[in-house]
């Protein structure tokens, strides 16, 4: 590990590319899976730049598709380290698409990916801390602490809940499902 603490700017990565017809789905919009692949690649690049190690994807915590991306638009992904633990990092990714003719840009996707640093033997390794120098850095770090807490609470609740049919059949009648008679 070369630095004890690094600012988010030191590990920021930006990727821009033109969206081609080969990236489109059946409705002519850019396939969400293609964008997710780019999100994973830039998360890897950002986490590896921060940790100076190979990194693997531990989880994709949030993916919000906000607007469709058209063939011919210039897509720009920006990745920043928002949170660090001992061996993990949460990378925030923003995806914007720009109509290259009009210059109009739109926010299309926000994602949060947890990456874990590994050594050459596949063992987890410590990562540099995060030097929070702005209000934005502090806000992003604090949001990740809360997001992690909510995720842990949700996992505990799911584990503790007995999802028996008898218990939930009354509630399921309010949903668009057909139940056995």
% of the chain at pLDDT higher than 90 = 84
Please say whether the structural domain 5-172 has been given the CATH code 3.10.129.10: yes
- Average pLDDT value over all residues in the chain: 94
**For 29-132, where are the E strands, in sequence order?**
54-65, 74-84, 88-98, 105-118, 129-130
| Biggest distance spanned by C-alpha atoms of the chain | 65
Look at residues 118, 116, 54 and name the one whose alpha carbon lies nearest to residue 90.
116
Asked if the model's pLDDT at residue 172 lies above 90, the reply is no
The rounded distance, in Å, linking the Cα atoms of 75 and 93 is: 12
- Predicted pLDDT of residue 175: 87
Asked if the model's pLDDT at residue 56 lies above 50, the reply is yes
Average pLDDT of the segment spanning 144-158:
94
Asked if the model's pLDDT at residue 18 lies above 60, the reply is yes
- Predicted pLDDT of residue 1: 44
Measure the N-to-C terminal CA separation of the chain; round to a whole number of Å: 62
Domains in the chain: boundaries: 5-172
* H runs (alpha helix) in the chain: 8-11, 32-51, 135-160, 165-172
> Which tokens is 54 given?
């190979």
Residue 4's pLDDT band (cuts 50, 70, 90): very high
User: Taking a C-beta distance cutoff of 8 angstroms, is the pair 48, 10 a contact?
Assistant: no
- Predicted pLDDT of residue 2: 53
Specify the pTM.
0.89
Asked if the model's pLDDT at residue 105 lies above 90, the reply is yes
- Predicted pLDDT of residue 170: 75
% of the chain at pLDDT higher than 70 = 98
Residue 167's pLDDT band (cuts 50, 70, 90): confident
């Amino acid at each position: 590990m070369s630095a004890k603490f690094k600012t988010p700017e030191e590990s920021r990565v930006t990727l821009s590319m033109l969206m081609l017809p080969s990236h489109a789905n059946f409705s002519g919009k850019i396939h969400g899976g293609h964008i997710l692949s780019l999100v994973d690649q830039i998360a890897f690049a950002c986490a590896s730049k921060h940790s100076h190690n190979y990194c693997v994807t531990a989880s994709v915590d949030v993916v919000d598709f906000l607007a469709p991306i058209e063939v011919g638009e210039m897509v720009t992904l920006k990745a920043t380290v928002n949170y660090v633990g001992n061996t993990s990092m949460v990378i925030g990714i923003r995806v914007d698409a720009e109509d290259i003719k009009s210059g109009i840009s739109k926010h299309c996707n926000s994602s949060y990916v947890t990456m874990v640093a590994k050594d050459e033997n596949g063992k987890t390794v410590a990562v540099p801390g995060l030097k929070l120098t702005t209000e934005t850095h502090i806000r992003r770090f604090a949001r990740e602490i809360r997001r992690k807490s909510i995720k842990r609470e949700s996992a505990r609740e799911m584990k503790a809940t007995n999802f028996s049919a008898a218990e939930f059949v009354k509630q399921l009648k309010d949903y668009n499902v057909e139940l056995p008679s």
